[in-house]
């Protein structure tokens, strides 16, 4: 599943923040709403949120940088999330991470062509079929390096 996002603009950001219910007019829900709406939290949104919530820019920045789920750059069209929990490690996820790091991008990085973000996750609930990964929210199990390359080629072809 590909997330459909609105292009960032200050006016669009203000409109989005105006839609927040009173009980969600807090820093974390505001940041989450911005990320959901735009795919990431643009640096310009930090000051916008601070003004809208009557808090300091430092407070908003602190929350933004504390939660690793919040991103400050636009996502690549493809996200590869490799499970590195114990069950997947026992079935080969370390080898997948090493292969991806050598051939595509390190964990936390983006491929040279800008098409794939690589992240690690801790348990996808697919332990019996490890190693597992999500490719654009599609769960793939029993991965080998060959199967991973094939799944990534399919994701690229679907762009």
Going from the C-alpha of 98 to that of each of 2, 27, 92, 104, 129, the distances in angstroms are: 26, 37, 10, 10, 20
What is the per-residue pLDDT across 102-133, written as a single tens digit (0 to 9) for each? 999 999 999 999 999 999 999 999 999 999 99
Which of 86, 81, 26, 134 is closest to 34 using CA atoms? 26
Give the pLDDT of residue 15: 93
Let me know: does 13 contact 47? Beta carbons within 8 Å. Answer: no
Task: Calculate the dihedral angle through the C-alpha atoms of 149, 153, 154, 159, rounding to the nearest 10 degrees.
Answer: 140
CA 85 to chain centre: 18
Class of domain 10-66: mainly alpha
- The pLDDT > 90 percentage for the chain reads 91
> What's the mean pLDDT when you consider all of the chain?
94
Give the pLDDT of residue 6: 81
Q: Where is pLDDT greater, at 69 or 33?
A: 33
Q: Apex CA 110: angle with CA 107 and CA 113, to 5°?
A: 145
CA 143 to chain centre: 21
Question: Is 50 exceeded by the pLDDT of residue 38?
Answer: yes
Residue extents of the structural domains in the chain: 10-66, 78-157
What is the per-residue pLDDT across 41-79, written as a single tens digit (0 to 9) for each? 999 999 999 999 999 999 999 999 999 889 999 999 999
Q: Which residues of 63-85 are buried (b: 16+ CB within 10 A; e: fewer)?
A: bbeeeeebeeeebbebbbbbbbb
Q: Do domains 10-66 and 78-157 have the same CATH topology?
A: no
Class of domain 78-157: alpha beta
Residue 82's contacts (CB-CB under 8 Å, 6 or more residues apart) are 88, 93, 96, 97, 100, 107, 118, 119, 120, 121, 131, 133
Question: Is 90 exceeded by the pLDDT of residue 95?
Answer: yes
Give the pLDDT of residue 1: 36
Give the pLDDT of residue 2: 43
pTM of the model: 0.76
């Amino acid at each position: 599943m590909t997330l459909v996002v609105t292009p960032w603009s200050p006016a669009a950001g203000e409109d989005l923040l105006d839609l927040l219910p009173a009980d969600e007019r807090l820093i974390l829900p505001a940041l989450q709403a911005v990320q959901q709406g735009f795919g990431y939290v643009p640096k310009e949104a930090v000051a916008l949120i601070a003004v809208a919530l009557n808090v300091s820019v430092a407070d908003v920045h602190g929350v933004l940088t504390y939660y690793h789920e919040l991103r400050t750059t636009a996502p690549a069209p493809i996200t590869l999330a490799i499970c590195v929990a114990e069950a997947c490690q026992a079935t080969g996820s370390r080898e997948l991470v090493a292969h991806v790091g050598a051939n595509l991008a390190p964990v936390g990085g983006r491929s040279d062509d800008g098409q794939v973000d690589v992240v690690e996750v801790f348990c996808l609930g697919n332990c019996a079929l490890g190693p597992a990964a999500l490719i654009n929210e599609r769960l793939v199990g029993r991965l080998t390096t060959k199967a991973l390359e094939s799944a990534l080629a399919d994701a690229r072809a679907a762009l």
